[in-house]
Amino acid sequence: MSELRIAHLYPKLLNIYGDGGNISALKCRCEWRGIKVSVDEINVGDDIAEHDIYFIGGGQDKQQIEVAYELQKRKEFLTKERDRMAVFLGICGGYQLMGHYYQPHNGEKLPGISLLDAYTIAGNNRFIGNVTAVTSYTEPNTLVGFENHCGRTYSNHDCLGDVIKGFGNNDTDKKEGLVYKNFIGTYLHEPVLPKNPHLADYLILKALQNKYNIDSLEKLDDSIEMKAH
Ligand code: GLN
């Protein structure tokens, strides 16, 4: 029986707009297929062991400060994990800290850990609302979610999707999220995976491919999830 180990990074500090629901979606969609899942919550001060999937959610600027400095201690380990193609999903505040830095509108510049070649600078207004993007990474190819952020993220990595409604990474290039190796960063909350089951499956399949010789997933009945989508 295949088994995936998921690490939920800093859930006590970064967990807004139900981002933790992404863990539930990953767990359910694995278990419905007979794939065993374990979830470890990693909090400030905890060492991190190898996992198959790393998840980090969004949070306010204030909570990002503690996480930013904690992450510096985990930078070398997480860089190795990224390079051995472990799967990562970073949302909003957590996504921002995976780049080189996050400069809040008022306040100290926070160091990132450069797992993504990206940087984020906050503007003086927030981007709030529903987002729709079109992606080349999943089938179906639409991604939907809710954004609420001041940060504008800039990068040369492949974007996760082209924005057709809302803002996404910033207010200039109409791109949403980033993909680098098996790392997906995105501004989409809500949480994103329950109502984009194809994105959840993309991550699960990447994790299984990285660990076992598995190249497809059993299809599930997603009629309810797609109504939400
Ligand atoms: N504090 C960050 C911003 O406003 C992240 C917010 C979030 O995670 N929703 O850009």
The question of whether 189 is a catalytic residue gets the answer yes
Whether 217 and 125 have beta carbons less than 8 Å apart is answered as no
Please compute the mean of the pLDDT values over residues 214-220 and round it to a whole number.
95
Q: How far apart are CA 69 and CA 67, in angstroms?
A: 6
Q: Which of 30, 92, 149, 159 is catalytic?
A: 92
Residue 169 — pLDDT band, cuts 50, 70, 90? very high
Q: What is the pLDDT of residues 52-102, one digit of tens each?
A: 999 999 999 999 999 999 999 999 999 999 999 999 999 999 999 999 999
Distance 152 CA to ligand 1 centre (A): 10
According to the model, what pLDDT value does residue 213 have? 86
Q: Looking at the chain, how many residues does it have?
A: 229
User: What is the distance, to the nearest Å, from the Cα of residue 43 to the centroid of all Cα atoms in its chain?
Assistant: 17
Q: What is the pLDDT of residues 127-139, one digit of tens each?
A: 999 999 999 999 9
Q: What are phi and psi of 75, to 5 degrees?
A: -60, -50
Q: What is the DSSP letter of 206?
A: H
Whether 176 and 133 have beta carbons less than 8 Å apart is answered as yes
Q: What are phi and psi of 223, to 5 degrees?
A: -65, -40
DSSP string computed for 78-129: HHHHHHTT-EEEEEHHHHHHTSSEEE-SSSPPEE---SSSEEEEEEEEEEEE
Q: What is the pLDDT of residues 10-22, one digit of tens each?
A: 999 999 988 999 9
Distance 168 CA to ligand 1 centre (A): 12
